[in-house]
Structure 1
Amino acid sequence: MKKIFLLLPLFLFFGQFTHAQKFGYIDTDYILSQMPEYKEAQGEIDQLSKTWQSEIKQMYKEIESMYNDLQAEEVLLTPEMKTERLAEIKTKEEEVKEYNSKVFGYEGLFFLKKKELMKPVMEKVFEAAEKVSKNNRLDFMFDKAADLVMIYTNPVHDYTDYVLEELGYGDENDTIK
């Protein structure tokens, strides 16, 4: 009997550490595809991208035209004039490369605009995911769409529909509570 009373506190103490952690996952790609504000932001981003790409394409056409003009007039030009024209073409090429980098490079205009437009949408998703996690007492919430490799996922742990419901985009016929 003494042994039981001595071991009981020991089991109670170590029992605290055996608490299983609860986890779940969501699919942000699916959630975002259901959100009209994401589609709107994505449309604006696509339009900006097309505009900037066409500007850059036009600049390259100008360079090509300058080069074609040089080739057509090459026999009439002095070596100094030819060198000057080649320098102009080279300068124009550098300007286009710099502009391309400024727009589409790391931390470029495209990246910053995309970040600006997507930030409110993503914050909304993350807030809903956090609320669902707290309501369901989850210790961890993973994103199936992220680079985290999930070889197998049990649908029991999928909280995507809960997050959609929290955002107000859930299926009215769905009966998850």
Structure 2
Amino acid sequence: MKKIALIVTILFTATQIYAQKIGVVDTNYVLSKLPQYKEAENRLNTQIEQWRSDLQKLQAEYERKREAFENEKVLLVGDQLKLREKEIVDLEASVRNTIGARFGSNGEVNQLRSNLTKPYQDQIWNAIKTVSTKNNLGIVLDKSNNISVIFLDKKYDYTEAVLNLLVKTLPKAEENKNNAPSNSNSKTGGKITPRARAQKRGGVEAAK
């Protein structure tokens, strides 16, 4: 009896899922198409490259001093030997700490990346919710979340619909730049008109 009840429950659940209209969205694709996100990601990547460069310099310094110490330690005695040993140990610890603090699983890089994506994830979620309501979707799958989609009919892919909605609602990345005041020749598109050129030439001749 229990087996029959379990089979009925599974069939009912499967029927309910089948009856739901399913949509698919690729959130990674949506993020990659947002200018605001790409600008923030570029700033993050610049910071990461700077940290990598700093780490490489620190590692190079450690390797150089360790090699020098290995070559010279036979000549060192007493406090001099201890000081040089401590310097190498401290440098090695500094390298390890820097790697962990910045590039570890809970390091600054992952924290900054999480802070970068969170505001957009919230907005993507709201856009997906709006698109789902508009298209009567009961289930929405994220194609970028390790879900292997072997075949997908385009009519079930709502990625572009979500992206278009986000583009309309998010402020334009270049808006402030376009509204910035231009130079003194802005009325003529940066060009000097023939009349202005003649006036300028007359002014020069008068000055002579």
The Cα shift of 1:130 comes to 1.2
The higher relative CO (CA closer than 8 Å, separation ≥ 6) is in 1
- Whether 2:35 is the aligned partner of 1:36: answer yes
Map 1:135-154 → 2, pairs under 5 A? 135-154=134-153
Measured after TM superposition, the shift of residue 33 of structure 1 is 1.9
Q: For residues 25-104 of structure 1, what are the structure 2 equivalents within 5 Å?
A: 25-78=24-77, 81-104=80-103
1:168 aligns to what SS in structure 2? Answer: helix
- CA–CA distance in structure 2, aligned partners of residues 118 and 33 of structure 1: 11
CA contact (8 A) 1:63 1:93 kept: yes
> Who is 1:108 aligned against?
107
Matched residue, 1:167: 166
Aligned to 2:116: 117
Q: Quick one: percent identity of the two aligned structures? A: 31
Look up the equivalent residue of 1:107 and give its one-letter code. N
Structure 2 CA distance for aligned equivalents of residues 64 and 107 of structure 1: 26
Q: Provide, for residues 142-161 of structure 1, a one-character-per-residue CA deviation record: whole Å limited to 9, x for no partner.
A: 11111122222221200011
Q: 2:9 matched to which residue of 1?
A: none
Residues 59-78 of structure 1: per-residue CA shift (max 9 Å, x gap): 11111221233244334212
Give the TM-score of the pair, scaled to structure 2. 0.67
User: Does the 8 Å contact 1:41/1:118 carry over to 2?
Assistant: no
Normalising by structure 1, we get a TM-score of 0.77
Greater shift, 127-136 or 117-126, is seen at: 117-126
Question: 8 Å contact 1:125–1:163 — kept in the other structure?
Answer: yes
Once the 2 structures are TM-superposed, how far is the Cα of residue 117 of structure 1 from its aligned partner? 1.7
Alignment partners' CA distance in 1, 2:116 and 2:148: 27
Using the alignment, how far apart are the partners of 1:124 and 1:96 within structure 2?
A: 38
Aligned residue identity for 2:84: R
Equivalent-residue separation in structure 2 for 1:98 and 1:78 (angstroms): 29
Distance in 1 of aligned mates of 2:36 and 2:118: 11
Size of the alignment, in residue pairs?
154
Deviation of 1:136 (Å): 0.8
Instruction: Supply the distance in 2 between the matched residues of 1:136 and 1:45 (Cα, whole angstroms).
Output: 36
Cα distance, 1:28 vs structure 2:
1.6
Post-superposition Cα deviations, 1:65-120, rounded to whole Å, max 9, x if no partner, equal 21233244334212664354233212211121012101111221111111112211
Q: Does the 8 Å CA contact 2:34/2:167 hold for their aligned counterparts?
A: no
SS of the equivalent of 1:25 reads: strand
Query: RMSD of aligned C-alpha atoms?
Result: 2.2
Rg larger in structure: 2
